[in-house]
Structures are given as C-alpha cells and as structure tokens.
C-alpha cells in the first residue's frame, strides 16, 4: 500500500509497530487523528463506535481484528486454537449487524484458518497475509467499480451532476470508494460537473466525510441537507444519484444508510436514474429479499443532540434506525467490479 502519497487509507497495517492504524473518523473533519489498535477487543470497539465505518472498511478492519486475536492465542493444539478463534469471531460479529462485508470477511478468515496446514505460528502468519489480501482486493475492486461506473454516465450533458448520500469514499473502503469511487473516476475523466452531498442525518457522514474527501481531491462539491434532494431534482439540478450499500439481498433490495430509501422514491418521481455502487462482497445471496436484512438501531444520543447541544424537550421518545432498505424496483442498476447489473439479473451471478 502506497503510504507516501496523499491517498486516504482508513485502515493500515503498520509492520514496524506491529499493529493496525485507523483514521479516527469520529473526529474528522475538525481533527485528523489516528489510533493504534493492537488487540481484537479494541478493534471490535473501534468498529462499534464508528472510528472505522463504511461496509468494506469494517470488513477489512474485522479481518485484521481476527489476526490480532489469533496472534494472542498461546497454544500448539490446533482444535483449541480454532475454538478460540471462533470466540474472537463472535465478538467481532456483534459489533454492527447490517453491513454483510463484516460477516463475509470474518468467515473468510475463519475458512483460511480451518484450511491452512502447518504449525499454529504459520497459520497466524497466513491470517495476517489474508487480511492484507482482503484489503488489497477491496482497493482493486473499488477501482474497477469506479471505472465500470463510467458506462452509466449519460452522454448529455458532457459533464454530469451526481447526488450522493452518506460517505462511500476512501474512508468507507480500503481506499478508493464505491459510489464516491465512480465520482472519482468521472472527475478523472473530466465527466463530472459537481457532486451534491446529502448531509446524512443523524451522524452527518455526508457533511463531515464526503465533503472532506471531495475537498482533498479538488472535486467540486455542494452540501445540502437530506430534505433538499426533491427540490434539487425538481429544479433539474441532478442528472443521476449514486449511493453505496451495506447489504444487497438476492432480489436486489438494498440496505444502505438511513435516508437512501426516501432518496430513491424522490429520484423515481423525477425520472432521475438511481444507482447502487457496491462490491460483490456486499451481496448476500442467502437472503431472498430485503425484509430479512437486520437493521441496526443506534443510541438516541445521535438524534437528541447536535454536538453537545440538546435539541429536544425532556421526555422525548426516539427511534434511530441506522439503515433502510430500498426496494429493487426503485434501483436502475448496481455498479459492481464485474460490470453494471440490473437488480433482476443479480441472481444470475450467484456464486
Ligand atoms: O453507518 P456507516 O457510516 O458505516 O454507514 C455507511 C453507509 O451506509 C455506506 O453508504 C455503505 O457502507 C457503503 S460504503 C462504501
């Protein structure tokens, strides 16, 4: 991984410190801080508290978490080692329920451990290599998604205006982005006029992270609140919408950051194409449709205060689902590393 350039990598394996370095995404954009993670319990906590967030990025982080846990197991008994690793996997699985990449990465690490022959110490080394491979693959996958996304850009206007929701950029992946990866590729190819970024209540990933990433790269970006998208579309300001995904069911129903579903309805009402950009590791073919996707609920504190200021009366009751499910019928296409697929054709790619 090229650490010398100004690329943003939310998760880095630091060879000399023998630990993982995470960009603390809860502090951006006011402060650029990193945290060193050397124990799997700390990685689980970092995922839960959203120091690292975004579906592919938490998959990468969990993979390293598995290695950090594995290296602490002091035994030469293979069965005991695997049993302990299952316990570590369980702790990591309990961090965030919606993004399937987390479960996918943990399963891949477990499978590697079960299938690796050699001493326990050799298996530990293989687990580190596997976490690095998962990270490297995600980077390449996102670059392919970005470039495949160029094919869906309308030919007129020559430069398009794209609306996006939440943060799906380098910070949310191994380092390029899914929806923001397409935006990045469009910018590189001089096909992008401007990005409109939804602020993404309640945690403001759009305002804090997407705008920050765009500014780092000189991509023209305008911040709007989530409730402004219908107005912008009515004013013909938006050519297409591209968002990411946390889990896609076999029929194409897609869970993504809360507010995505209403954005898709608004897009349909204005004949604006609505695309999902996601790697295949986000597709959960075990689920027939979106009703089976578990939706994370987060603490009321994310709603009842802005910064440290409380904004509602005492006694207010809260509901804070972090994701919603957009029905496949509202999705124009899914941009993946294998090409652009309609939700209806997804099943043909089942592996
Ligand atoms: O709660 P978050 O910030 O982890 O949610 C992130 C999103 O919903 C993203 O849109 C999704 O993970 C895709 S990231 C490439």
Mean pLDDT of the 280-292 span: 96
Interatomic CA distance for residues 307 and 229, integer angstroms: 24
Interatomic CA distance for residues 208 and 203, integer angstroms: 9
Interatomic CA distance for residues 345 and 233, integer angstroms: 28
- Does ligand 1 lie within 6 Å of residue 172's CB atom? yes
- Does ligand 1 lie within 6 Å of residue 146's CB atom? no
Q: How far is the CA of 11 from the centre of ligand 1 (A)?
A: 15
DSSP string, 190-242: T-EEEEEEE--TTTTHIIIIIHHHHHHHT--EEEE-GGGHHHHHHTT--SEEE
Contact status, residue 123 vs residue 70, Cβ threshold 8 Å: yes
Interatomic CA distance for residues 257 and 36, integer angstroms: 27
- Does ligand 1 lie within 6 Å of residue 229's CB atom? no
Identify any residues that bridge with 98 across adjacent strands, giving them in sequence order.
Answer: none
- Does ligand 1 lie within 6 Å of residue 25's CB atom? no
Express each pLDDT in 23-69 by its tens digit.
999 999 999 999 999 999 999 999 999 999 999 999 999 999 999 99
pLDDT at 1: 52
Our measurement of the distance from residue 184's CA atom to the centroid of its chain's CA atoms, rounded to an integer in Å, reads 16
Q: Quickly count: other Cβ atoms within 10 Å of residue 286's Cβ.
A: 9
Query: Using CA positions, which residue lies closest to atom 10 of ligand 1?
Result: 244
Express each pLDDT in 180-202 by its tens digit.
999 999 999 999 999 999 999 99
Interatomic CA distance for residues 320 and 104, integer angstroms: 25
Residue ranges of domains in the chain, CATH in brackets: 11-144 (1.20.120.420), 150-349 (3.40.50.10470)
Length of the chain as a residue count: 351
Dihedral sign (CA 266, 270, 271, 277): negative
For ligand 1, what atom is nearest to the CA of residue 257?
A: 8
Output the pTM of the full model. 0.96
- Does ligand 1 lie within 6 Å of residue 168's CB atom? yes
- Does ligand 1 lie within 6 Å of residue 113's CB atom? no
Q: How far is the CA of 50 from the centre of ligand 1 (A)?
A: 10
Residue positions annotated with a catalytic role? 246
Dihedral sign (CA 47, 50, 55, 60): negative
Q: How far is the CA of 316 from the centre of ligand 1 (A)?
A: 27
- Does ligand 1 lie within 6 Å of residue 326's CB atom? no
pLDDT at 270: 98
Express each pLDDT in 98-140 by its tens digit.
999 999 999 999 999 999 999 999 999 999 999 999 999 999 9
For ligand 1, what atom is nearest to the CA of residue 169?
A: 15
Contact status, residue 99 vs residue 247, Cβ threshold 8 Å: yes
Query: Using CA positions, which residue lies closest to atom 15 of ligand 1?
Result: 168
Distances (CA, A) of 328 to 221, 248, 254: 28, 9, 7
Q: How far is the CA of 257 from the centre of ligand 1 (A)?
A: 6
For ligand 1, what atom is nearest to the CA of residue 323?
A: 8
Interatomic CA distance for residues 208 and 287, integer angstroms: 32
Q: How far is the CA of 236 from the centre of ligand 1 (A)?
A: 27
Contact status, residue 171 vs residue 135, Cβ threshold 8 Å: no
Contact status, residue 238 vs residue 195, Cβ threshold 8 Å: no
């Amino acid at each position: 991984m090229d650490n010398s350039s100004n690329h943003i990598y939310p998760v880095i394996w630091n060879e000399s410190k023998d630990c993982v370095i995470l960009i603390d995404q809860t502090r951006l954009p006011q402060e650029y801080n990193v945290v060193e993670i050397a124990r799997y319990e700390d990685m689980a906590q970092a995922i839960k508290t959203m120091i690292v967030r975004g579906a592919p990025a938490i998959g990468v982080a969990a993979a390293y978490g598995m290695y950090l846990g594995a290296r602490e197991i002091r035994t030469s008994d293979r069965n005991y080692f695997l049993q302990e690793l299952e316990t570590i996997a369980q702790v990591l699985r309990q961090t965030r329920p919606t993004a399937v990449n987390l479960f996918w990465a943990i399963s891949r690490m477990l499978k590697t451990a079960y299938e690796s022959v050699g001493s326990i110490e050799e298996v530990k080394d293989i687990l580190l290599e596997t976490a690095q491979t998962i990270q490297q693959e995600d980077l390449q996958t996102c670059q392919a998604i970005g470039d495949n996304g160029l094919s869906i850009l309308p030919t007129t206007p020559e430069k398009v205006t794209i609306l996006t929701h939440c943060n799906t950029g380098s910070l949310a992946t191994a380092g390029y982005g899914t929806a923001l990866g397409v935006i990045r590729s469009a910018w590189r190819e001089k096909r992008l006029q401007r990005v409109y970024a939804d602020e993404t209540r309640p945690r403001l990933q759009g305002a804090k992270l997407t705008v920050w990433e765009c500014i780092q790269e000189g991509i023209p970006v305008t911040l709007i609140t989530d409730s402004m998208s219908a107005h912008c579309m009515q004013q013909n300001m938006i050519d297409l919408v591209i968002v990411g995904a946390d889990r896609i069911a076999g029929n194409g129903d897609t869970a993504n950051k809360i507010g995505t579903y209403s954005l898709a309805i608004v897009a349909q009402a204005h004949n604006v194409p609505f695309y999902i950009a996601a790697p295949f590791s986000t597709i959960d073919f075990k689920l027939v449709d979106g009703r089976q996707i578990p939706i994370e609920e987060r603490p009321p504190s994310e709603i009842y205060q802005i910064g440290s200021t409380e904004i509602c009366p005492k006694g207010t009751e809260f509901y804070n689902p972090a994701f919603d499910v957009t029905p496949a019928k509202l999705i124009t296409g899914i941009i993946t590393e294998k090409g652009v697929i309609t939700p209806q054709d997804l099943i043909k790619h089942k592996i």
